[in-house]
Amino acid sequence: MAEIPGLESQRRQVEGDEGEEGRQRRLLAGESWYLLDYRWYQQWKTYVDSGDQNSSFFPGRINNAELFEDLESYRLKDRLVEDEDYILVPSKVWNQLVSWYGMEPEQPPLERKVVDLPSTQKVEVYPVELYLCQHSDMDNLLTAQFSRTDIIDTVLKEARRLFEVPPEEEMRLWVKNSDGSCERLRNVHMTVLDSCLSTGQTVIMESRNKDGTWPSAQPHAMRNSLDEDDTYRGQPGICGLTNLGNTCFMNSALQCLSNVPPLTEYFLNNRYLKELNFSNPLGMKGEIAEAYADIIKQMWSGHHYSVVPRMFKTKVGHFASQFLGYQQHDSQELLSFLLDGLHEDLNRVKKKEYIEQRDAEGRPDEEVAEEAWRNHKRRNDSIIVDIFHGLFKSTLVCPRCRKVSVTFDPFCYLSVPLPDSNKRAMEIFFVSMDPRMKPEQHRLIVPKEGKVLDLCIALSKHTGISPEHMMVADVFSHRFYKIYQMEESLSCILDRDDIFIYEISVGALEDEDGGGSEDIVLPIYLRERTQSRDYSDSYYGVTLFGHPLLVSVPREKISWDSLYQMLLHRLSRYVSQPDSDEEEESEDDDLSDKRTNGFSEGEEDESSHRAKSTCQDQEAGSEVEDNQSEESEHEVMSEPSNGEGVGETKIASCSGASACQQRTDGGSQRSNPPSPTIDSQPKRKCRVRRQRRKPLFTLQTVNSNGTSDRSAYQDDGNSVTFNSQPYIALDWDPEMKKLYYDDMEAERYVRNDSMSYMLKKNPVKLEKCIDLFTTVETLEEENPWYCPTCKKHQRATKKLDLWSLPEVLIIHLKRFSYTKFSREKLDTLVEFPIRDLDFSKYIIKPRTETDPTQYKYDLIAVSNHYGGLRDGHYTTFARNKDTGQWCYFDDSSVSAVSERQIESKAAYVLFYQRQDKICQPMQPPPQPCCHSTVTSADQDTDDVTSCSSISDDMTSCNSHDCKINTCQSSESMDVD
C-alpha cells in the first residue's frame, strides 16, 4: 500500500478542490469510471473531515459487496441509484483510493465506460449483457457483458475465448431478434451501441465449413452439385460454376479473377477481413467483397466439382441493376463492375479528401507522374490498386492554338482496338423485272463507309443490270420500312436488316421528283381481306402478306384495267388465272359501266368515253393474256420435272431473310419477257355482250404502311394520272387467294454463288493492337476537350502512352463495335503470346538497369466469347496457380487443355501476370485435377455443348481453325 497523504490532501484529490479535477471532472466519451459503494464513501468522508488520521472512523479496504447480488457471479444489483447506493469516480481517483486503502480480495473493480449519447455523455452503470452460443450448439448459452462502446470484434474475441475456438478458424456473428429472425453483425468495427445490441439478446457465432460454405447457408449452397460426394477431394481451384440461366458471362469473369494468384491468396488468407470498408459511400457496405470471398473459398476448398453462385448473383443484381434478371451481358462489363466494387469495399482510405488535378504546365514527366500516383493513392488504396492499377500519360493538343495538355491518369485495364477491315459483306435479295425469275440472294463486298450506290454497283457486277435501274429498300413485316436514296450511307443499314434491290425501268439516279422520266415506280403491297367475326359476307379489315414489289408504270394516262393486267403479269410466277367458266360473269351493258378493279366510277355523262376506253382495254388485255400463256408454257418447259426446281430455296417469312429456311439452289436463266401492250389499239366505241373474267384482286391506293386508304391520283374516266408516288395495295378475297395464289412458290428464291464468298480476315498480332492503342487520334465531335486557352471545346488530338504497368495486366480486345447505325463483332484472330509478352518498347518512363525484368508478362487467364452480337456463350481458359495446369472452364464443366489450344478467335479478355511475380507451381497431385460434369442443375440456356471435345485429343491440330472452334462454331452458338 502506498504512503497515505494527509487527510486534507486526500480530500482535494478526490473531491477536486484547488485545481484538482477529482470526481467532479467533466465526462469524456470512451474513458473509464468506477462504481464506489456509497456507504464506504460516506465513511471515508467522515474520516477525512475529522482531521485525525488515527480516528476510529478509518474506512478500511474498499468494499463494494453491497452492490452485488451475490459474491459468486458478482452480478450488479438491479435498480441501483447514484448518490444513494454508489458514487462514480474517474479512474485516476479510483487508482489513488485503491493505493491508499486497498480493496477486498477477489472483488472485481466495477469499471464502466462513458458513452456518447445523442444529446449527452453518460457513464453506463449497467453494461449490455449478451447470451453467446455457437451455431452448432445453440442450446449452450454463456453470458458476457460488454460496454456499449466496445466494438463487435471485442464480442467475437470474447466468444472465441469462451468457446475455445482456434484463431485460424474463420468466424462470423449473427444476432437473434425478438421475432426469431437473425441478422448478420457484418461490420466488426462498429460499436455495440451503434449495432443496437441490448441486454438479453442472443449472439450466435458461426464457423466456416472446410468446403468454404457457411452452415447457415441455404441447402442449394451447401451442396453445389447433385452428384457431389461429401468425401470428394479435388485440386483446389479446379471447380466449375453452375449456369443459373444466361450467367456464363459472370462465370467467365469469376473464373478469370479466381486464377489471379495474389488476389486469391489475399482472400484465402483472410486478409480482407481487416480491410472491409463499411462506411465508404461509393462502396457496397462490404457485401460484394464478402460474397466474392465466399465464392473463392468454396472454389479453392477442393471439396466441390462445381459451385452454385446464386448468392453472388443476387448481390451483383442488388448493387448493379443492369445485371438484374437473366439476360445475357458482357463479361468485360461485369469484370469492370466487380473490380470497382471490390476496390471500394476494400478501400483502406476511410475518408477521401478532395484533390484537384493539376496539369503538367511544363514540369518534368517524372514529377507530374509521381504527383498523380501519390494523389491517386491518397483516395484509392486497396488490394485492387496494388495488383491491377497502372498509369497512363495522356497528351492533348488543341488544333487551333496548339495548347498542349499533359496529365497522368490511373487505369485498371487496357481496352485495345482491333485493326478493322475497310470492307463489309452485305446480304441482299435481288428482284428482277422478269416475273419468271425468282429472287436471288447475293453476298456483296462493299466499302464499309460506302453509299447505297456502291451496293448497287457491286450487284451490277453479278447481274449485268445497270445501277441506274435499281432501287434499294428495307423490307419488314410485308411492307417497305424504308426506300433508300443512292447517296445515303451504308452505315445506316444494319446486318440484320432485310434488304431487297429491285430492277426497275425508271432511272433511279434521275431527279427524285421523276422529272424527265415518263415512268413512275409504284410500291405494291399484297393484302388479304379479313372476314367479320359473324362470318357473314361483309369484311371489316385487311392483312398484309407476301413480299412487296416495286413496279415501273407510265406516269400519265394509264387505265386501271391496264395497271391490273401489268400487275397480274408481274405476279404470274406464283399467281395463276381462272380457266373455268365458273369464274366468269356475264355483261350485257357498256363495258365501262361494270368496273371490276375496286376503284370509284367516273361521272355518268362520261359513259361514252369509258366505253371507248373499255373496248381498247379488252383488246390490249387479250394480247397480254396471249403473251402470258406463251410465258407460262416457256416456264413449264424450262422447269425440272420434279416440280420443285433444282436447289430451290424459300423465303420463309416476309419479316426478313434472316428467318429463312435455306436450301441449296443452282440458279436460273434470265430472259426478258414481253411486256403487256398498253393503249396500243385504236380507240373505237363498242357495245357487246360477252363473258368477262372475274378479277383476282382489286386495287387501292394506300399510305406507306399499307394500313389506310388514300387518294393520290386524278381519275379521268378510265385512265388515271398520279400526282405523287402512291402506294398501291392488291386486295385479295380469301377464296380467290386460296385458289390462285401459290404461297409456296411466292416464297422461293435462289442462292447466288456469291453466298459462298467469305470476307477474309488475316490474323493480327497483339502488339499491333497495342500500337493502335497508343496512336494519335482525334476526339469525336460528341466528346470534345475544353481548351483553357481558347476558352471553348475543341476536337483535340489525343495520344495515350504507358508510363507504368501493374503486376497483373488485363487486356480487353474491343471486338464489339457500336455506332449510331451499326453494331458488329470482329472475329479476327488475335495472335497473343503465352509467355514473354514484352512491354519494354511501350513504356515511356525513364528506366534503370533493373527495369527490363519488370516489363515481361506471362498469360494466366483468357475470357472467351463465342457467337454473335445478340447471342453467344462465354468460357474461360485459366492456369492453376498451384499446379501450373491449364484448364478450360465452361460453366460447371472443367477440362484439362494444352497451351496450343488457348489461342482462338474467341479470345476476348486476356490476363497477364508479370514474370518476376509468378511463383513456380508445385508438382500436380496424383488424383485427376480436371473433370467434366453436367448435372440436371447445369442444363441451362447456354449449356448446350459438351466440353469433352476440349481435351488433349486435340493436341494433334496444327491450324488456328481447328482449335477450340472445332467443337463450337460461332454460327451454331445461339445459346444465350
Active site residues: 248, 873
In whole angstroms, what separates CA 856 from the centre of its chain? 32
Cell of 160: 472465441
Cell of 522: 409504284
Residue type, 595: R
Q: Which helix (H) or strand (E) holds 862?
A: strand 856-866
Question: Are the CB atoms for 544 and 525 separated by under 8 Å?
Answer: yes
How far is Cα 124 from Cα 80, in angstroms, rounded to an integer?
Answer: 12
Contacts of residue 659, defined as CB under 8 A and 6 or more positions apart, other chains included, come to 652, 653
Q: How many residues does the chain have?
A: 976
How far is Cα 358 from Cα 407, in angstroms, rounded to an integer?
Answer: 8
Residue 48: C-alpha distances to residues 5, 91, 317, 679 (Å)? 11, 20, 71, 138
- Residue 676 is classified by DSSP as P
* DSSP per-residue string spanning 71-139: TTT-PBPTT--BTTTEEEEEHHHHHHHHHHH-B-TTPPP-EEEEEE-SS-EEE-SS-EEEEEEETTEEE
Bridge partners, residue 104, by sequence: none
Residue 784: C-alpha distances to residues 397, 405, 780, 798, 800 (Å)? 12, 14, 6, 11, 16
Closest by CA to 289, choosing from 310, 263, 307, is: 263
Residue 505: C-alpha distances to residues 156, 436, 525 (Å)? 88, 17, 19
Question: Are the CB atoms for 110 and 35 separated by under 8 Å?
Answer: yes
Contacts of residue 732, defined as CB under 8 A and 6 or more positions apart, other chains included, come to 526, 527, 528, 529, 696, 697, 741
Residue 113: C-alpha distances to residues 21, 30, 68, 150, 756 (Å)? 18, 6, 19, 9, 84
Residue type, 175: V
How far is Cα 862 from Cα 375, in angstroms, rounded to an integer?
Answer: 32
- Residue 575 is classified by DSSP as B
Question: Are the CB atoms for 400 and 794 separated by under 8 Å?
Answer: yes
- Angle among Cα 189, 193, 195 to the nearest 5 degrees reads 60
Residue type, 562: S
Closest by CA to 427, choosing from 455, 448, 461, 464, is: 455
Bridge partners, residue 716, by sequence: 719
Contacts of residue 830, defined as CB under 8 A and 6 or more positions apart, other chains included, come to 418, 763, 764, 765, 766, 769, 813, 907
* DSSP per-residue string spanning 594-619: S--SSPPP--GGGHHHHHHHHHHHHH
Question: Are the CB atoms for 409 and 392 separated by under 8 Å?
Answer: yes
